[in-house]
Homo-oligomer: A and B are copies of this chain.
């Protein structure tokens, strides 16, 4: 019953929002609009100030068709029919009744007749990484990545009327539940301790005894949205007489200050050892005899001195902390986890996916136009590349060839000459503006054309219009 909803949670009636139809050419702006649509009519700024990582939000929208364009139950039937969807890898069949949570996955392909037989018998169906097979979901998630600056995933849940598929638990991701069809009744519970708030890892299943009273209880109607922070214990049940279909968008998994700090301090110690002889001096010969848990109850000047020394070295670490390099390692990881960009028709035309040499019918090769100093170019997306300095070389990591399957490819990169790095920096910092190849801060014109040609060929650049073909004489 929604009347139990806690009063400090924003619940807003839907108003008409007009979608901005013009494409801005800035992937972050586009993603911002998409997120605004997702949580509309809540204002993103309000959302981040009041709710993000703090409290659940139920958006009661009253527009039942709102999320329908993304997916439907018949899309799922089609997906099973046309693809080798595998139990356990791509799809789980689950149930939760009388406090017992079960997974019923057989081995092998999830053929539609088998899946629907389970469904008929009251089992829930969970699709893992469904964006692999559902292009509109791939587009949604791929775009939102540009907004969140981290990888965005999705599961789809289909639940028969009056059943529940999962035990109460919490996850390690920020969750946006898009109710597409039917109704689901949710109960949310507060984390059980401060250390379970914004947790790093998901929980196991809880029993009803363990979780106390809900802090919020509500029924999602078609078109509604429910957000809750990682760590929020939750359980949902399709209401009698109505199936439920929802998408759970997830993000911000292991994307915290602590994750970055791991990279920062590991690298800081390595650099401090290289640069500061204090870190390279030998330990006292007898330190094993007064330090260690066996000695932790002792107090001695030796222990005090030793601990002081560690403190002093720790305090020096910040001087060696390679913060930008550590951020680039986070960015590199993001580009490995990320969905590839989904290009518009126009973007294809203005990149190597549509432009360049083409093979026509009957072996007729149509030469593509040429990049010159006058060509205007920009990166395909704000987050399409990361410039990383590692193993004595400069690498441009990118997500352009990523698979729709999670980690379907190894991390992809181009290695470039050290002296070309400023050109890539310039491209990154100029985004979303087009710049002329001639503007690149490189010494020679050959270098400018060369680096842009290489990036363009890999599909990482957009040109400002189709390249002008050069007439071979």
Residues of chain A whose beta carbon lies under 8 Å from any beta carbon of chain B? 28, 52-53, 72-74, 76-77, 81, 84, 108-109, 111-114, 116-117, 119-120, 147-149, 158, 174, 181-182, 194-195, 197-200, 242-245, 252, 255-262, 264-266, 268-270, 272-275, 277-289, 291-298, 306-307, 309-311, 313-315, 317-318, 321, 323-325, 327-328, 330-331, 334, 352-365, 367-368, 382-383, 386-389, 401, 403, 409, 412, 424-425, 428-429, 457-459
**A274 to B352 Cα, complex, angstroms:** 47
Q: Which residues of B contact A389 (CB under 8 A)?
A: 293
Q: Establish whether residues A314 and B265, one from each chain, have CB atoms under 8 Å apart when the complex forms.
A: yes
B116 touches A358 (CB 8 A): yes
In addition to A117-B357, A255-B283, A292-B324, 7 A-B residue pairs with Cβ atoms within 8 Å of each other are: A73-B362, A73-B363, A74-B359, A182-B363, A262-B270, A295-B429, A314-B318
Structural contact, B108 and A194, CB atoms closer than 8 A: no
A258 CB contacts on chain B under 8 angstroms: 269, 272-273, 279-280
Residues in chain B near residue A74, CB distance under 8 A: 359-361
Cβ of B295 and Cβ of A120 under 8 Å apart? no
Contact B245 A363 (CB under 8 A): yes
**Complex Cα gap A313–B318 (Å):** 10
Contacts of A361 in B (CB 8 A): 72-74
Chain B residue with Cβ nearest A282? B252
Known interface pairs A257-B278, A261-B313, A313-B257; A458-B323 also in contact (CB < 8 Å)? no
Q: Do B149 and A365 touch (CB < 8 A)? A: no
Residue numbers in B under 8 Å from A257 (CB-CB)? 278-283, 309-310, 313
- Closest residue to A273 on the B side, CB-wise? B258
* Cα–Cα distance between A412 and B285 once the two chains are bound (Å): 23
A113 to B359, CA, bound (A): 9
Q: Contacts A73-B363, A363-B243 known; A324 to B291 CB distance under 8 Å?
A: yes
Cβ contacts A to B, 6 pairs, < 8 Å: A116-B365, A117-B357, A198-B281, A292-B386, A293-B325, A311-B321
Distance of A143 from chain B, by nearest CB (Å): 14
A456 → chain B closest CB, angstroms: 8
Instruction: Name the one of B84, B293, B428 contacting A388, with C-beta atoms under 8 angstroms.
Output: B293
Of the candidates B243, B313, B323, which one forms a contact with A291 in the assembled complex, judged by CB atoms under 8 Å apart? B323
Residue pair B324, A387 in contact (C-beta under 8 Å):
no
List the 3 closest A-B pairs by CB distance, nearest first: A113-B356, A243-B363, A116-B357
Please indicate the chain B residues that have their CB under 8 angstroms from the CB of A174 in the complex: 282
Q: Is the CB of A412 within 8 A of B108?
A: yes
A325 — which chain B residues lie within 8 A by C-beta?
Answer: 293
Enumerate chain B residues within 8 angstroms of A287, measured Cβ to Cβ: 149, 327
**Chain B residues with CB below 8 A from A194, complex form:** 277
A402 to B278, CA, bound (A): 33
Residue of B nearest to A197 (CB): B277
User: Chain B residues with Cβ under 8 A from A362's Cβ?
Assistant: 72-73, 181-182
Return chain B residues, CB-CB under 8 Å to A158: 363
Q: Which residue of B lies closest to A289 (CB)?
A: B382
Contacts of A277 in B (CB 8 A): 194, 197-198
Is the beta-carbon distance between B260 and A283 smaller than 8 angstroms? yes
Shortest A428–chain B CB gap in Å is: 4
Which of B279, B314, B358 sits near A321, CB closer than 8 Å?
B314
Given known contacts A109-B401, A119-B365, A324-B292, is B314 in contact with A280 (CB within 8 Å)? no
A363 to B356, CA, bound (A): 46
The answer to whether B275 and A195 touch across the interface, beta carbons within 8 angstroms, is yes
Q: Are B256 and A282 in contact (CB under 8 A)?
A: yes
The answer to whether A264 touches B310 (Cβ under 8 A) is yes
- Chain B residue nearest to A322 (CB atoms) is B293
A181 touches B363 (CB 8 A): yes
**A84 nearest CB neighbor, chain B only:** B401
Residues of chain B within 8 A of A364, CB atoms compared: 73
Residues of chain B with a CB closer than 8 A to A306's CB: 323
- CB A380 to nearest CB in B, in angstroms, measures 14
If A291-B323, A429-B298 touch, does A401 touch B108 (CB 8 Å cutoff)? yes
Write the nearest CB–CB distance from A49 to chain B, whole angstroms: 13
Contact of A356 among B72, B112, B309 (CB under 8 A): B112
Contact call A429/B294, Cβ cutoff below 8 A: yes
